[in-house]
Amino acid sequence: MVEEEIEASKDDVHASAQDENVLSSERFWFAIDRQLLGSGLRLVLILPAFSLLTYFGALAFSASSPEWWSRIEPTIGIGFAMALTVLTFVIVLGYLLAQTFHRHRVELSLRNFQREVEQLNSERLSVQSLHGYESLADQLKGAKSKHTWALLFGIVSSLLLLLIFLVDITSLNGKILLLLSFSSLLLSLSQHFPTRSSPFNMDERTGLLKAYNPPIHPSTLELVFDDLVKTHMDPLLRSVYEGYSKELESCLKRGIEPQYAREKILMTLYRHSKGLDFKTMESELSEVLTAKGMELVRSHPVFTMEEWLSIIDHIEASCPAFFRMIGRIEEDLGAGRAATRSDIVFEVDMENVVHERANLFTLIHNLSDTPRNVVLRVQSPDFRPHDIAMTYRLDPGEQHWWSTKALPLATKGDDDVLGLMSGLLRDATVGWQSLLPERFGEATVSVRLEEQSGDLIIGRQINVRVRTKFLERLLGFSSLTTGVLGLIGISAAVFIKVSDILGNIGA
């Protein structure tokens, strides 16, 4: 029994060492990839772009060399076209190595992804049951498949160039091989381009955020900031965040509500990302957290300040309308402006430029002492659904959560913008509607807050522009173009060779 336990302990140590080696290896290759290959210098794109010149140069001078080359040719012993072919082979070989290293880094990231999933499962945190896991895992595997095809087409391109050295570039077969090699390189690029729109890595804790597209989100946010954070976090990070939130709730000061504390903490972190100094941020957090909680915020192994800044920046880029909306409310609270109506707070915002879908955010808060029912109606001929009507029951505000006197951004207690904003987000009704555009160009959305009888309380009209994402459109067009040109090149090479064979037979 003791021997079995010793063996099991050795296996755990060995597995842990292997996992650490894989993580360290990814860190090394990701640093190279970020600086030279996929990002930074971008050798994966620069090398094939430069090879276009040498490919066409070798084809153009396959019949005769330029006059100035006649002085060099006796020394080198090859023609100008063959020299360009050699240079092309060196460039394609460099591209092949770059693709090999790039794919190796992607494979290491996938192995670390699977290792992290298994580790979370061993801690009884089932990541596979979380919504969005399957789509994320499928996307990561699809990226690896595309990198594999890009590498295979690159290998074929280099092998075809090697064959040219056996048949000579001046012959018809040499030119056909050059065309086939060039077409294979284009097919390799057509597989690589789509992977650039959603890069990912496991070296950074937020390395999956750009690759993760939230498939679902709540239409009415219960804990506004908390729901936004959990919606945009990838399943792995979200699993860790749930445990982190429970740890923080166990470190709250007596009398502090957990919901209010969550919103206050996340709101303070957001304001820190927008310029709130570190000392003031810690002072605000200490109003709801004990000394143990403050230490947890400072020294958590995953949710460091750097990671929080990355997460908040990602959410702000995904939902700019929400942050613009609460920014206006903060300005009103800071300046002491009265609400639009004395009995209700109503704010609405939406992206000015819409791409795949529009995120419409609304905030409604009852300032009166009596409950009331209101209808939020969203109408648009340019988005689906064309008509949305949602009935909300607004309970009277537990506190007024509004002030007609100017307030500082942060001060001791809750009589500041951060305190009122946190309470407002906790007690208000915040809606998040996704609208799907039906056409490109100018679009209009009408938002009305009505009584149940149909009488208008407040109305807003939003004008936006619907466009495609430039980067994704460029990558999609590049992938399609290179793929089509590669297939055309292969078809042309086959046609030329078949015509030559049939011509020789006829002769």
Distance CA 198, CA 109 (A): 14
Beta carbons within 8 Å of 228's beta carbon, 6+ residues apart: 221, 315, 319, 322
According to the model, what pLDDT value does residue 220 have? 87
Sort 453 into a burial class: Cβ within 10 Å, 0-12 / 13-18 / 19+: exposed
Alpha-carbon radius of gyration of the chain: 30
- Confidence class of residue 14 from pLDDT cuts 50, 70 and 90? very low
Residue 183: per-residue pLDDT: 93
**Mean pLDDT rounded to a whole number for the chain:** 85
- pLDDT, residue 13, reads 43
User: For residue 398, what pLDDT is reported?
Assistant: 61
Q: How many CB atoms lie within 10 A of CB 490?
A: 17
Q: Which domains does the chain have, with CATH numbers?
A: 2-203+474-506 (no CATH), 206-317 (no CATH), 319-467 (2.60.40.10)
Q: Are 91 and 181 in contact (CB under 8 A)?
A: no
- pLDDT tens digits, 53-86: 888 888 888 777 787 877 777 777 788 888 888 8
User: Residue 149: what pLDDT?
Assistant: 94
Predicted local distance difference test score (pLDDT) of residue 2: 46
At residue 16, the pLDDT reads 54
Q: Which residues of 128-159 are buried (b: 16+ CB within 10 A; e: fewer)?
A: eebebbeebbeebeebeebbeebbebbebbbe
* Whole-number pLDDT of residue 311: 93
Phi first, then psi: give them for residue 492, nearest 5 degrees.
-65, -40
What's the CA gap between 397 and 415, in Å, rounded?
16
Q: pLDDT at position 6, please?
A: 47
Q: What is the pLDDT of residue 11?
A: 46
- Residue 402 confidence (pLDDT) above 80: no
Q: For residue range 102-150, what is the model confidence (pLDDT) as tens digits?
A: 999 999 999 999 988 888 888 777 788 888 888 888 988 999 999 999 9
The more confidently predicted of residues 402 and 209 is 209
Entry pTM: 0.83
Average pLDDT over residues 164-179: 86
Report whether pLDDT(497) > 50.
Answer: yes
Per-residue model confidence (pLDDT) at position 8: 43
Is residue 96 predicted with pLDDT exceeding 90? yes
For residue 83, what pLDDT is reported? 87
Mean pLDDT of the 403-415 span? 70
Interatomic CA distance for residues 397 and 140, integer angstroms: 46
CA end-to-end span of the chain, whole Å?
86
Whether 10 has a pLDDT exceeding 60, the answer reads no
CB 373 within 8 A of CB 381: no
Residue 189 has pLDDT above 90, yes or no: yes
Q: What is residue 429's three-state secondary structure?
A: strand
Rounded Cα–Cα distance for residues 474 and 455 (Å) = 47
pLDDT digits (tens, 9 = 90+) for 253-272: 888 888 888 888 898 898 88
